[in-house]
Structures are given as C-alpha cells and as structure tokens.
Structure 1
C-alpha cells in the first residue's frame, strides 16, 4: 500500500468521528475505535479511499484527545491540518489494526524496534524486534519488500525481492442481535448496550413507539463494513404483542366456534376480558377492543384480536363422522 501524507477530508473533526461537538472522552474513544476499524486499510483492501479516511480518523482523534491541540483548533488558532501537523504515523506503512489499538491505548507495554525504519520503541537491551509481516509499528511486509532491494543494490549485492502478499480482504457480513423489551420500554425508548464479536462496544437508543418484530440497522459496524441489526421482541408472557400504541393478540378457536360464534376470554394489558366472537368468523378476521392498547399522553391505542381457526390434529370417531357429513353437505351445495 502506498503511504502518503495525512489529509482530513472534512473541516469538522467531530464529524469525522461521527460525534456531536463536546462529546466526552469515553464516547470519543468508542467512536474512534469504531471508525478506525471501519476504515483500516487492511480491512478494506478493495476500497481506494479507505487509506485517506483512516488517516483522517487518526488525525481527528489525535487532535480531539489532546487538550492543547483541541483548544488551538476550537479557537481557530490552527486549522485541522495545522492542529494535526506532525501526527502522521503512517509515512512508512500501516501497522496491523489490533497492534495499532494496543499501542495507542496502552494495552501492550512491549518495546519494539523497526528493522528498516517506521516507529521505534525503546533501544535498550530488552527491546524486541518487530514481528514478521508488519506486526507492530515497524514497516509492513510490502514496505520492506520495496526498501530492502534498493539498499542491497547500492552496495552491489543481489536483488532477490519476492512479490508482496496481497492485503487480506474481509468479506462484509451482516449480523443480528435479539433485544427483548417490555411494553413500557418500547413505548418510551430504551438504551441498549451490546458488545460485538470483535469487542467493539455499541450503545444505541431504541425509538419511541417501537414494535415487536422491528429491525434496527447499525450501518457499517460489523466485520468488513457489514451492518448489524437489532431484532426487537416486545411481547408479554400471555401472548400480547406490542406495535406502537396498539396491542395484537391471536385467538385460536375450533372451527365450530368460528362458524357458530362464541364467547372467548382474551388477555389484555389491563387484565382478561370476555370477547364475543360473531358467527361466521374465519381465520384472519380482526376484532377490535377499543382503548385496550398503550397510553401516551392523550392518545390511547386499541387491541386487535386476530381469529385463527385450528383443526385438532387427531379426531375422535364422532368428530370424524361430523366432519365427513359437513364435507358431503358442502359438496351437495356446490353441485
């Protein structure tokens, strides 16, 4: 990968990280981790703009996480490029993403010394050499393959450079998490925290008046730039499903009850009630219980009861004879 100088595509550093101005340190770090993973060149081998976007994210975090540089930028004493001057650590290649985060957030204390340039750590007797293939802050394998042959040629040695390995390409895969909410949480909106498979922490608020079966899309947070979906489940133990202010319930009846009509006990959020099912009710018919839904201010929803006729899996001899007779009558009427 060709390295160049840093550039910030947007003048608003907060916007580069997808944050509102003045976000706290924890939000800043989470946003940086998310955007850095999304645009790291090793994870976007087929995206020609990923390198510049990754540099912009790195430079924005370097300015906003440093009180002095951030103050200079906010007061207009330095533009984004000036505030981020000297903050391009990628002049000789890109480190592996996890090593980059380990070093930046202080999770790894290992000293590292580059072979042919790049970022150097301690030069003391305990300093370790960087791993092969660009691990740590030494040059990447591709950068070493470019620089070493030139050095050997100047000394008269043979040039035997091998072709650099192509960068890994991570396929974009969508992921999904089931989130269970109570009717009250779905009505007002709920704060949800989850940790993705790669360790990324996500915090999101569900929208007010959410319903059972809703899917919320978190764009670009899954590995390879895929989307992560939140599948909402808003149900009560007795089978009520919430959809905004409305409550939905499926009532199972025997075919005879649907044909002749009956009284059925139906659960509601306020307790069970008796519902009169009119004769000739087929599967799919909706009956309304007014005012039995959720309440928000002066608004109150209804409860819809869907009729579902269910035939027994096993019939007694008497039932089988009766169904047979009904079948004969239906055939005679159609003749």
Structure 2
C-alpha cells in the first residue's frame, strides 16, 4: 500500500540546502498568495496555506529541520524498504509490525515525526487510544506577522486560522441523511491497518474509514463522507509587549477539535515582526536616524522626533553637532519584564551638493570670517 507523503522542501519550492533566508523568502511569497484573507471561500487555498505553514514551522527551526532531514535520509520519502534494510525478519517469518507511537527517539516518539510527514488522513490521539474513543485534538502551529509598534508596545491582532471541524450536516459521522453506518470492511472495525515492505510493517489509521472503524452506506454530500470540513476561524490574539521576532505564544484550546468528545489542541503562534522604516531594535533599545541641514548642525536647532508611542518629542540639537552624533531619549525604548530601554537618535547632516546665488555668497563670507578660506 503506497503512502502519501509531504516533502516540505517541495512544498516551499526550495532546495534541500536552501539557506534560512531563502526559506523565509519562499514562505512569505507563498503565504501571501494563499492566505485565506486573499482567497475567501477557497478550500484548496486554505489547505495549501496550512501545508505552507507546516513546512515553514519545521524548516525554519534548526532542531526540527535537522530531525526532518534525518528522516528523509532514512528513506521516509522513498518507501519503507530502505528503512528496514538492515534488520532481519521476525523469527518464524513474516513482517515485523511497528506501532509508530511505541518507538522513542528521546524527547518524542518516532510516530510523532512520521505523523507530521505522512498524510495519515486522521489525527492520532494519545498512545493506546482506541479508534472511535476520545482523542485530543492536534496542536496548530501558525506563523503570524505583526507590526513593529505592536511588537514593542503590545496590542491585539486578529489571526485567521484554517481548522478542521466536524461536518455540520452529518455531525462527524460521514453519513448522508437516512444512511446506515456499518463496520469497515478494510480494517474489520479496528480502525487501523498494517502496511510495509521488507522486514517491517507500520500500523496506520485505516484509509477507508479514516480510523473510525465504520463506514456509511452513503457518504454525506457536504463532507464527502470524511465527517469533517475545513473552515477559517478568526482568533483575537493579545500580543505581549516586548515580543521579539521569533517569539512564541501558546493559546490553550484554540487548536484542532478533539475527536469523539476529546479536548481540543492548542494554537502555537510564532511571531514574525514586520520591519519599520524608521526604527530598528537592539534588545530593549530603539535606534533611529534623523536628518538636519548644515545650518541646523552648525547653529543648533530643535527638531521633532517620532516615538514608537505615537507622539513626537522635541530634541535639542546643540550648535556644532557633528554628523553621526547620537542622542538618547530616556525611557522611550522597549518595555519588557518590568524593564524599559531608551531611544537613540543618530543625526545625519545633509550637505547641499551645490550652492548658488546669495546662498553661496553668504556661505563664502561665513567661511572667510571663520578663517576657513585660504
């Protein structure tokens, strides 16, 4: 029996040795094209957006990417034969059946890794859960872009997350109105089947019944018998003040719904902070650059400087200010964990390329009086 696989490099359209910047660039392009807000009522785009987010959540994390690459080298995308090549058959012949959830790599079951790479068609619950019994819903990992000011000061953003819900027509049974539900002939009601090549067999949810152990005589027309549908859920998220690029937030119970009355999973958000045209961030401090003309730098001046809070502050530029000089506005930086940084303002002096007429004459007189002409 063939397996359906997901190659995350292919999903993002990047090479195996792609850099982190190349992966990020590919993700942003595809996410923008397939975002649910840009494709309302498009189930295919919503599914594509979820795949893109899943791929990026793995390939953008060094530890996850390393583990993923190890699985690819073990043959996870080229059939199971290569994986079991070195181990002999079980005594007495026949394939050795492996329950993916029973294998451990230290810190996570092998089943968890395979489960994210192979499209098993149905969520797995806790180890030992029986088909049809209560199962905890899957966590959803989602990357969300937030404005620079929101990351610094905190605020609320609305995130549109594609989720799987029980079909409203059949209430999750997969059966059309009036149809009966019978024991699945493929798995004989077990909800799982064993497949494999060579010396190993792998247990997976039954593809015919999706792990339920039962199939309807007539599928529900709304969900095509799957018992579930995809829809977009709007979630309002409170962004904590001071969150940085790559910061994470867990929203309990906002993930996929649990099966058969099981608890829902969590929504795992990774923040991507949009760059600002004026500010850059250095820990808790903010940096910016303002431009003054030559007269302001020489004679001194007062200029308004924008702050991340919104209102501008008046900064005094003393006479004789040199290009590149930095001024500090105390307490106008990032606030986090009871600490607050400062805002540093760099002065850029704009020198005119050419002076004409009275302006040139006056500057020559000034230079001569100052002893700058020879």
User: Same fold judged by TM-score > 0.5?
Assistant: no
Give the shorter-chain TM-score range. 0.3 to 0.5
Query: Which structure has more RCO (C-alpha within 8 Å, separation ≥ 6)?
Result: 2
Larger helix fraction of residues: 1
Structure 1 or 2, whichever has the larger Rg, is 1
Larger strand fraction of residues: 2
